Structure 1
Amino acid sequence: MFSNGQLIFGTIFFICFVIVIIYSYRKDIALHKKYYKGSLFVLIGFLAFIGLLFLIKQYLKH
Structure 2
Amino acid sequence: MFSQGQLVFAALFFISFVITMIIAYRKDLKLHQVYYKGNYKILIGFIAFIAILFVIKIYFKH
Q: Report how many aligned residue pairs link the two structures.
A: 62
List gaps (5 residues or longer) in structure 1: none
Please provide the CA RMSD for this pair: 0.5
1:33 counterpart residue number: 33
Runs of 4+ displaced beyond 2 Å? none
- Structure 2: segments with no counterpart, 5+ residues: none
TM-score normalised over the length of structure 2: 0.97
Q: So what's the TM-score if we normalise by structure 1? A: 0.97
Percent identity between the aligned chains?
A: 61
